[in-house]
Amino acid sequence: MNNKNRKTESAYQERLYIVNVLEMNVVLYPNEIGQTKTRENLKSSIVKKIEGKCTEEGYIRPGSVEVKQYSAGIVKGDMVEFTVVFQCYSSNPVEGTIIECVVKSITKAGIHAEARDHLGNVPVTVFIARDHFVQKKAFQEVTETSLEKKVFVKVIGTRFELNDDCVEVLGELIQMENNINKK
């Protein structure tokens, strides 16, 4: 693959995530607080709650949480509550976004694909309905030999619930990987 295609490919991968700065209240036990332990324990608590799952912002990429600042703790019973500002990468593709996916299965209903990031996480699964796009040339080129091949998909709509493992996308097939190299 030449450098131009690599740049295009990485640009599609970068579109999977955006940087979010979020705020969350985190409760720790007094023995989890100390000069060096507080920041680590706040991060650990946030990571357990949100990484690798969907929140209101979308899918949170594992390994992306970084604590920016936190408040002085407020004692509540036998616990201490902190307001934590942190940065993370989230994925929630908007309508019209083009994402790179890998074909996982082809059924009579349509094509199932996954968008993977460079770490192997699957923040987005895609379904391309056969009924909507069967007349398109790009759709007709997808066969059983297309499994594990890259396709480019335009997002039509998304859905997810809190704590889902990924964002589900209804998409439109734009083109197969082998057609990109021809252009």
The pLDDT value given to residue 118: 87
User: What range defines the domain where residue 81 resides?
Assistant: 18-91
Query: Which of 65, 91, 117 is the endpoint of a domain?
Result: 91
Task: Assess whether 155 and 102 both reside in one domain.
Answer: yes
Task: Assess whether 101 and 129 both reside in one domain.
Answer: yes
Structural domains of the chain, count:
2
The pLDDT value given to residue 142: 74
H/E segment holding residue 159 = strand 150-159
- Look at residue 3 and tell me whether its pLDDT is greater than 60: no
Confidence at 4, pLDDT banded by 50, 70, 90: very low
Task: Assess whether 36 and 9 both reside in one domain.
Answer: no
Confidence at 147, pLDDT banded by 50, 70, 90: confident
Task: Assess whether 69 and 130 both reside in one domain.
Answer: no
Mean pLDDT of the chain: 87
Task: Assess whether 109 and 172 both reside in one domain.
Answer: yes
DSSP SS3 for 71: coil
What CA dihedral angle connects 60, 174, 103 and 158, to 10 degrees? 40
The pLDDT value given to residue 143: 74
The pLDDT value given to residue 130: 84
**CATH number where 57 lies:** 3.30.1490.120
Contact between 87 and 68 (Cβ < 8 Å): yes
**CATH number where 136 lies:** 2.40.50.140
User: Which of 39, 61, 41 lies closest to 50 in space, CA to CA?
Assistant: 61
Task: Assess whether 51 and 111 both reside in one domain.
Answer: no
Query: Which of 74, 91, 108 is the endpoint of a domain?
Result: 91
Q: pLDDT per residue over 79-130, tens digit each? A: 999 999 999 999 999 999 999 999 999 888 889 999 999 889 999 999 998 8
